[in-house]
Amino acid sequence: DVLMDTLGVSLAEDPQGAVDKVRATLAGLMEAQQGTAAAPQEHTGHFGTDTIVRHIIGLDGARHGVALAQPVSDGMRLSFCQRNVAAARADLVRICAEIREELEPEELELPATTTPAAAVPSEAAAAAGAAQRIAGAIYVSCSGRGGPHFGGPSAELELVRHALGDVPLVGFFAGGEIAHHHLYGYTGVLTVFVQPQN
């Protein structure tokens, strides 16, 4: 009922229209132990870092059930979501810029005409001590994100290259992306190799 209400459709009144909208909808799942701190903020599109996104694989109109491509346990939180090209691009650029700023803050300092206070490296970089140089990177992207989703072949990898700078970079598509202790979907996993700055 929540899914149908969220999508503004009715399985009883317009079954084909409802199925079409459900096909374009995904489910974001968060583990029970994350509690309210990592819960998505309603209608904002922000999820916790351990959110996994899965397909909706079936509807049961008689029991008002939704089948997901992932086992669900008591206490898990669920949000319905849809792919958003602009949000995906902005998030990818943001993450890459944060990584580069943390590792190579001196290369991103503002011009000398800026006041000295504005050119101070980030707290994270200062706390880490000497800056490190990005030696290379590997980017693994979900096959559902590539090509048309970002506007063309290698478009996603070009965004990573532009944000990280001129570093050795290789990437490939996968049917699931591993990070920490989760198998993700519809995401990209960036691994950056560093070495101390000489």
Residues of the chain with pLDDT under 50: 34-44, 108-128
Residue 31 φ/ψ region, left for φ over 0, alpha for ψ in the -120 to 50 degree band, beta for the rest:
beta
pLDDT for res 152: 78
Tokens at residue 157, please?
């990898």
Q: Which two tokens stand for residue 96?
A: 């890459």
Q: Is 141 exposed, middle or buried (0-12, 13-18, 19+ CB in 10 A)?
A: buried
**pLDDT at position 10:** 87
